[in-house]
């Protein structure tokens, strides 16, 4: 596509990169078809092609973001289905990242919006604060219908409705340190302990550590690890996002230098997409560029890593699993076959839901910030999954588990919990 940037504008490396991305777009419109918001809202402004155009117009004119542009960019789930679809190879992910940073820098959001965003950015990435917030949410739940009636407060209602109702199990399984292999040693990996996931469902990382150590892998929980930064990154909060990235790069680099790492294992695909992008995020930082690129190269989704370990084939069991591929898994990381092949190999009957490319509406904090669209996508996803009549649902992302879990009575578990179970671990708690 034709672009018109001045040489001066192009001197900014971010703008130069966006220009290169825009030049690839041929405006064919294929992306509209697989975009969850376009499919839901039927307005090109809420499609990748529309957003690309809005971003192009904004950047070319060097204009501050305004309410219209922000509305449509905010509605983007960052599911990256468009990137999978795009024949021209338009790197929409980095374009919309740039736009979000631009918005954050040039647009003043309404007060309530700002407050909610700041609360989310200040709580979710920190397990202790998040745990406290969830406890508060439980008692505030009766307020949800009240918030729901007031448009700017809808996100609060969504937040309360998403918070788990049951007691949260505390787990100290993610204390820093090393877990020795229980079989002949085959490798050494670090695991990203994460932020929200271990609070909401500590069983996922526990299952991962159990399975890997049984397979002869030493698993390290590095000192100093924290949130991957995805949550704030998607809000356009560039500085804190890079801060998280740097501190994780430091933590893992120490491990790499200490004992070497075969992989950095990530059990939440949303985080995986971001960690794999550290190399890009820090490319302009001379102190970190190289280390970050190395870290990104080592980052692996747990199923991606397991696929390299050649697990034995198990007898089939009478359990039908519908595999929900998280957007960050299939579009962000392009991991499509490994999780399903592992489950099949472990004896499960695996089904794909129709419209598997569509987002469930979770998308990080999207289900809080955009509850209406999110609810519609959830209903569509649940309907598609239930049409396949599974005994249970498996997925690789805690966000999707929470989102889909609030819409169906079919149990939803992490892929790794099923694999751990199949290869000698305990039955996942949710299946009891």
Q: Which of 30, 107, 126, 423 binds other proteins (CB under 8 A)?
A: 30
Considering the complex, state which of residue 45 and residue 112 has its C-beta at the smaller distance from other proteins: 45
Q: Which of 11, 13, 68, 308 binds other proteins (CB under 8 A)?
A: 68
Give the shortest CB-362-to-other proteins separation in angstroms.
23
C-alpha closest to that of 148 among 372, 378, 391, 414: 372
Give the shortest CB-75-to-other proteins separation in angstroms.
12
Give the shortest CB-53-to-other proteins separation in angstroms.
4
Considering the complex, state which of residue 24 and residue 287 has its C-beta at the smaller distance from other proteins: 24
Region binding other proteins by CB under 8 A among candidate stretches 39-47, 91-99, 139-147, 339-347: 39-47
Considering the complex, state which of residue 38 and residue 244 has its C-beta at the smaller distance from other proteins: 38
Q: Which of 17, 18, 21, 34 binds other proteins (CB under 8 A)?
A: 34
Give the shortest CB-44-to-other proteins separation in angstroms.
6
Q: According to the binding rule CB under 8 A, does residue 312 interact with other proteins?
A: no
Considering the complex, state which of residue 13 and residue 42 has its C-beta at the smaller distance from other proteins: 42
C-alpha span between 290 and 287 (Å, rounded)? 8
Site string for other proteins, 81-120 (x = CB under 8 A): ----xxxxxx------------------------------
Q: According to the binding rule CB under 8 A, does residue 3 interact with other proteins?
A: yes
Site string for other proteins, 229-268 (x = CB under 8 A): ----------------------------------------
Give the shortest CB-30-to-other proteins separation in angstroms.
5
3-state secondary structure the chain: CCCCCCHHHHCCHHHHHHHHHHHHCCCCCHHHHHCHHHHHHCCHHHCHHHHHHHHHHHHHCCCCCCHHHHHHHHCCCCCCHHHHHCCCCCCHHHHHHHHHHHHHHHCCCCHHHHHHHHHHHHHCCCHHHHHHHHHHHHHHHHHHHHHHHCHHHHHHHHHHHHCCCCCCCCCCCCCCEEECCCCCCCEEEEECCCCHHHHHCCHHHHHHHHHHHHCCEEEEECCCCCCCCHHHHCCCCHHHHHHHHHHHHHHHHHHHHHHCCCEEEECCHHHHHHHCCHHHHCCCCCCCHHHHHHHHHHEEEHHHHHCCCCCCCCCCCCCEEEEECCHHHHHHCCCCCHHHHHHHHCCCEEECCCCCCCCCCCCCCHHHHCHHHHHHHHHHHHHHHHCCCCCEEEECCHHHHHHHHCCCCCCEEEHHHHHHHHCCCCCCHHHC
Q: Which of 57, 182, 223, 372 binds other proteins (CB under 8 A)?
A: 57
Please report, as residue ranges, which positions from 370 to 409 form the binding site for other proteins (by CB under 8 A): none
Count of residues binding other proteins (CB under 8 A)?
38
Q: Which of 6, 11, 13, 42 binds other proteins (CB under 8 A)?
A: 42
Q: Which of 38, 278, 323, 348 binds other proteins (CB under 8 A)?
A: 38
Q: According to the binding rule CB under 8 A, does residue 16 interact with other proteins?
A: no
Residues forming the site for other proteins (CB under 8 A) = 1-4, 23-34, 38-39, 41-45, 49-50, 53-54, 57, 66, 68-69, 72, 85-90
């Amino acid at each position: 596509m034709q672009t018109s940037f001045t040489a001066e504008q192009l001197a900014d490396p971010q703008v130069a990169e966006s220009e290169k991305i825009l030049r690839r777009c041929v405006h064919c419109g294929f992306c509209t078809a697989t975009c969850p918001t376009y499919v839901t809202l039927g307005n090109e402004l809420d499609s990748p092609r529309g957003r690309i155009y809005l971003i192009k117009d904004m950047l070319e004119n060097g204009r501050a973001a305004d309410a219209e542009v922000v509305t449509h960019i905010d509605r983007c789930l960052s599911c990256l289905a468009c990137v999978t679809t795009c024949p021209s190879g338009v790197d929409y992910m980095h374009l919309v990242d740039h736009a979000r940073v631009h918005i954050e820098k040039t647009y003043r959001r309404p007060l309530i919006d700002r407050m909610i965003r700041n609360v989310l950015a200040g709580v979710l990435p920190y397990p202790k604060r998040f745990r406290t917030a969830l406890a508060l949410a439980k008692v505030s739940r009766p307020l949800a219908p009240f918030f729901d009636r007031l448009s700017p407060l809808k996100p609060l209602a969504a937040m309360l409705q998403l918070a788990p109702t049951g007691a949260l199990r505390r787990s100290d399984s993610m204390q820093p340190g090393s877990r020795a292999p229980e079989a002949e040693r085959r490798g050494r990996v670090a695991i990203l302990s994460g932020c929200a996931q271990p609070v909401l469902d500590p069983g996922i990382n526990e299952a991962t550590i159990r399975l890997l150590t049984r397979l002869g892998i030493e698993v390290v929980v590095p000192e100093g690890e924290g949130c991957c930064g995805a949550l704030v990154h998607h809000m356009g909060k560039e500085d804190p996002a890079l801060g998280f990235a740097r501190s994780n790069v430091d933590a893992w680099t120490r491990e790499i230098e200490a004992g070497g790492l075969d992989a950095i294992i990530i059990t939440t695909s949303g985080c995986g997409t971001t960690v794999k992008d550290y190399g890009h995020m820090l490319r302009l930082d001379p102190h970190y560029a190289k280390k970050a690129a190395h870290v990104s190269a080592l980052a692996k989704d747990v199923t991606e890593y397991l696929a390299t370990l050649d697990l034995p084939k198990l007898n089939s069991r009478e359990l039908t699993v519908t595999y929900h591929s998280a957007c960050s898994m299939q579009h962000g990381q392009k991991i499509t076959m490994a999780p399903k092949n592992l489950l099949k190999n472990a004896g499960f009957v695996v089904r794909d839901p129709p419209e598997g490319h569509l987002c469930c509406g979770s998308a990080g904090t999207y289900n809080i910030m955009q509850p209406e669209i999110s609810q519609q996508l959830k209903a569509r996803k649940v309907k598609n999954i239930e049409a396949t009549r599974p005994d249970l649902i498996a997925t690789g992302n805690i966000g999707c588990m929470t989102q889909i879990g609030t819409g169906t009575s079919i149990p939803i578990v992490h892929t790794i919990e099923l694999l751990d179970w199949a290869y000698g671990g305990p039955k996942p708690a949710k299946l009891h």
